[in-house]
Each structure stands twice: as C-alpha cells, then as structure tokens.
A and B are shown apart, each in its own frame.
Chain A
Amino acid sequence: MDGLLQFFSYSGFANITLGHGIMILVGLIFIFLAIKYNYEPLLLVPIGFGILIGNIPYLQESSFAIGVYDQGSVLRYLYMGVLKGIYPPIIFLGIGAMTDFSTLISSPRLMLLGAATQVGIFITFLGAILLGFNLNEAASIGIIGGADGPTAIFLSSKLANGLNGNLNLIGPIAIAAYSYMALVPVIQPPIMKLLTSKKERLIKMKPPRSVSKTEKILFPIIGIILTGFISPGALPLLGMLFFGNLLKESMVTERLAETARKSLIDIVTILLGITVGASTQADVFLTKQSLLIFILGALSFMIATAGGILFAKVMNIFSKSDNKINPLIGAAGVSAVPDSARVVQHEGLKEDPSNHLLMHAMAPNVAGVIGSAVAAGILMSFLS
C-alpha cells in the first residue's frame, strides 16, 4: 500500500495546481486554433504540445530530471538551442533559402516601409521601461513588435535569459510573438481600415519589373556587407538570412538550398516550438510580467502596423501620380512572413477584386524581416 501511495505522490494528479490547469488549457487552445482555424499550425501545434509537456505536474523534490529547467534532462539539452540562440539563425537560413527578394529589388523604395514599421519596437521598448522593466528586459519585449518569432527569441535569449539580474522572459516573449503572428488576420484589418480611405485602398500599383539574375545574386552579397558593417550585432541572423538566399539564387547549390528551406528549417522549427512551449511551466510563466508582456506585445503590433500604413501615405505625397503606393501594403512591413502580405492581398481584394497586392506587399514584408533583425542587432550592441 505504501508503494502505491508513493507512486501516487509522484504522479501528476497528486501535484497538479491551478496554474498547471490554466497552462494545459492554453496549450489545448493553441492546438485547437491551429487545427480548427489553421492559424500558423506549423508553430502553434509544436508550441501547444510543448505547453502540455511542460505543464504536466510532477513532484519537484524528486530526483527526476524531466522539465526544461531541470539540470541534465533531455528537454534541457534541447532547450539549449533556444537559450544559447542557436535555433533562430538556422531558421533564418531556411527563410533566406525560401524567400524571393525580386519584388523588393524591383521596387527598392518599398524597403522604407519595412523600416517605418520598426517604430513599434522602439515605442514598446519605451513603454516597457515606463512599466518598470529594466533596459534589457524592455528591449526583449519591444522586439515583439518586429513580428518575427526567431528574432524575438534570439534577442530575449541574449538579454532576458534569467542571468545578470534580468528576468527570464524567453517563454512569455516567444509565446506572445507567435500568438500575435498567428492573430495577424485579426489584429491588422481594423487598423488598415481605420487609417486609410476607400480611395487609397483602391490604388492600383505599377506591376514590378522583372529582375535580372545578377541583381538577385548581388542582393545577399551587398545586403550582408552593408548591414553587417553598420550593425554587426545583427550578423548571426542577417548573415544566415543572406547566406540562405545566396544558396537559392546562385543556382549552383540547389541541394544545400533545398535542405535549408525544407528539412533543416523543419527540424529546427519542431525543436524550437516544442522546447519554447515546454519552457512555459506555470510557476515561471503565470506572472504579472507575462500579462504585461502580452499587453505590450499587442500594442507593439498595432503601432508597427499603423507606422507602416502612415509612412506609405507620407511616401505618396512625394510620389508621382502614376506611381502611387497603396497604403495597405505598409501593414506588411511588420515581418510575419507571409501572413501580413496575405492579409494585405485579402483586404485589397475586398475593395477591388481585380487589385492583387500580394506581390507588392511581399517587398515591405521581407524588408521588415531585415529591419527587425537590424533593430535586434542594434539593441544587442547597445545593451549586452
């Protein structure tokens, strides 16, 4: 009988708390949203399942090494990829190998939209300081506005990793970033409607010109030299992004590009999702700070979207009448590739079924990836 009682004391049923129950419910909601509504399923299913794994309760005093925070556990070793910032650059390699920068090269002025949306990062950074976070934590929270999960994880793993007197905010920041990325189709359309007139939404943009192979090959090379020299902090992310793109565009390393954009990115996405999910153990995750991070993250997304749209309107003042920008594409400047570009296409088609904005929106969308990585690099070089 004693043996049976001891076994029960080790089981999840004996150790469950309200916090575990809430987190398990959150995990189930993630899985439900991914499967039922197809919201970012490649991310939400691993993260949701990771939340379940991380929140199955067990006797903390036991000598079992189970969770990501237990020294020597398997999950801990896998979590090292997050903690040491290994996974995000590999994901950037895959993104580079699957991204076509043609529209950006053909309309380089749209790069400025990718810069304008980064206003969300810096305003949220200030907001987080006002709410009492220290500089490192505030920078990690602000980067949620870049709408780029790997960048958010990369920066928080460097600045808010629980070391040097900083809080460990990797879990809440990653969950907030990915949740809002999944909610792009819900968050952005009202802001887009609010800040644009019907006439502006109907603007038809000039089709992008065709881009030569030379330009495509030169883009990652010039890109890394320019961004790397100015912001070396962004090298791990942008180096891999541009390297992946060169593998794709050079046409002589197709095998490597294929691996980077398929198998490699898939493997790392699985590991990243499951370990980030598992890091949201109730005692670490359910705090006042997490709630503030979620509020700031939402604001960050909204400000970034508004920044892109308003800047597109400003650019229109200086554009020729036959070369106007549809301000809706400014919203795609928040990275969230390719979801925010898809939202722009959808909203454009609602106004005019013959106005396809997807190709145009992809330009600020990929510029946003570069912009948010540069912003992360700058924050890192100021604060680490």
Chain B
Amino acid sequence: MNIQILEQGLTISIIGYFIVFAILLLLYLTFYYLAKLIEFQAKKRCKKAGRKCNETEDFIINSEVSAAISAALYLHFNEMHDIESGKLTVKTISRRYTPWNSKIYNIMNKL
C-alpha cells in the first residue's frame, strides 16, 4: 500500500466530511433564521392589521392525532372500493339494425 495515497485519502476524507457538515450546518442556520424572519413578518403584519398575533402561532398536532389522520387518509385512498357482489349480469339491448344507422353506433360507441 502506498503511504502517499493513504495520506491523500486522509486529506480528502477530513476536508470532505468537513464540507458535508458545513453545507448542512449552513442549511440549518438558514432555515432556522428564515423561520424566525417569517414569524416576525407575520406578527408585524397582524399588528398592523390590528389583529391578535396569536392567530399566527403554530398549530401543533400531537403524534397520536397525526397517526390517526394518516391511517384514516390511507384507508380512504387505498380502500375506496366497497365490497361488490361478484354477480355478473347481462343487459340485453334491442335495437333495430339498418344500414343507415349501423355505423353511427360504432362511432358514438353506444351499446
């Protein structure tokens, strides 16, 4: 094993890991202060409008309620079909065939 390659690898690892951390730390700080800024702006707006600032406070749902809502939505979207009878029926349709109207049945996709 080449010591020089290992040294290079070590340098890349340390710098690389530092950059990954730095980028995500920067994103963290940006969104931490962005949230504060948005909250501040909202409070300023509602103060100007003469409303109570409580209206802009976070609406927190506890985890049990969220789980129940998720389960209900899942059931709603994934089990939309009710139980069907499974019986097949044939509906007879009588119509008079003439050379004049036969094509129009096909064009209009009528039974």
Contacts and interface: CB of A to CB of B under 8 A. Distances in A.
Contacts of B25: 111-112, 115
Interface residues of B, number: 38
A371 B1 contact: no
A29 B103 CA distance: 55
B63 interface: yes
Nearest to A114: B24
Contact of A138 (B9, B17, B24, B35): B9
B64 to A, nearest CB: 6
A129 interface: yes
B19 A230 contact: yes
Contacts of B58: 209-210
A231 B23 contact: yes
Contacts of A132: 1
Interface in B1-22: 1, 5-6, 8-10, 12-17, 19-22
Interface in A182-222: 204, 207, 209-210, 212, 214-215, 218-219, 222
Which secondary structure dominates where chain A touches chain B? Answer: helix
A109 B32 contact: yes
B35 to A, nearest CB: 7
A126 interface: yes
Contacts of B27: 108, 111, 222-223, 226-227, 370
Given A132-B1, A356-B66, A379 B24 contact: no
A118 B28 contact: no
Given A119-B17, A218-B34, A135 B23 contact: no
Contact of A112 (B28, B61, B67): B28
A215 B9 contact: no
A367 interface: yes
B26 interface: yes
Given A130-B1, A130-B6, A382-B16, A230 B66 contact: no
A146 to B, nearest CB: 10
A145 B23 CA distance: 19
Given A226-B23, A231-B19, A382-B12, A109 B63 contact: no
B38 interface: yes
Interface string B20-50: 1111111111111011001000000000000
A91 interface: no
B21 A115 contact: yes
A213 to B, nearest CB: 11
Nearest to B64: A354
A87 interface: no
A375 interface: yes
B62 interface: yes
A314 B14 CA distance: 20
B60 interface: yes
Nearest to A109: B28
Contacts of A222: 27, 30-31, 34
A137 to B, nearest CB: 11
A367 B26 CA distance: 13
Interface in A220-237: 222-223, 226-227, 230-231
A164 to B, nearest CB: 16
6 contacts: A108-B31, A112-B24, A118-B17, A138-B9, A222-B31, A356-B63
Interface of B: 1, 5-6, 8-10, 12-17, 19-32, 34-35, 38, 58-64, 66-67
Given A215-B38, A378-B19, 11 more contacts: A111-B28, A118-B20, A122-B12, A210-B58, A214-B38, A226-B30, A230-B26, A371-B20, A374-B23, A378-B20, A382-B12
